[in-house]
Amino acid sequence: MNMSSNLNYTQTGDYLLPNLTLHQPKTPLGKYGRMRRTYLMNHRPVLYNTMLLNGSLYPHLMEVEQTAESRMQQTMAQLLKQNPAPDKEQNQMAWVQHMNSLKAQTEELVLTELIYS
């Protein structure tokens, strides 16, 4: 049996098991990175496990997180330009409802494009 020299093994019963360690990320994942991770675990388990083992999962999740946040800001700005909000001072409830509606539309786009694909 050819064993790679850069891996250390531990004898467990009759088996030699590789000593594998996963490097923990320094920055915790945000909302969209966690959503993407959950999607991959539940709907794309082979891809998830491959990325986890080859070390590309966390960089992928961070990229999705940053792209989603950026897309949220850009899309919200575009929607506000197309559909200006009511005056916040004069009608605060209408303003809140308007902003919540735009945020929901924006998030639906981001989830479809980046998280669930």
Per-residue pLDDT, averaged over 10-27, amounts to 77
Q: Three-state secondary structure along 20-35?
A: CCCCCCCCCCCHHHHH
Stronger pLDDT, 21 or 90, i.e. the higher one? 90
Cβ-contact 32, 69 below 8 angstroms:
yes
pLDDT in tens, 30-62: 999 999 999 999 999 999 999 998 989 999 999
Distance between CA atoms of residues 64 and 43, nearest Å: 17
Number of alpha helices (DSSP H) and beta strands (DSSP E) in the chain: 4, 2
Per-residue pLDDT, averaged over 96-117, amounts to 95
Amino acid type, 110: V
Whether 2 has a pLDDT exceeding 60, the answer reads no
pTM of full prediction above 0.75: no
Domain ranges of the chain: 26-115
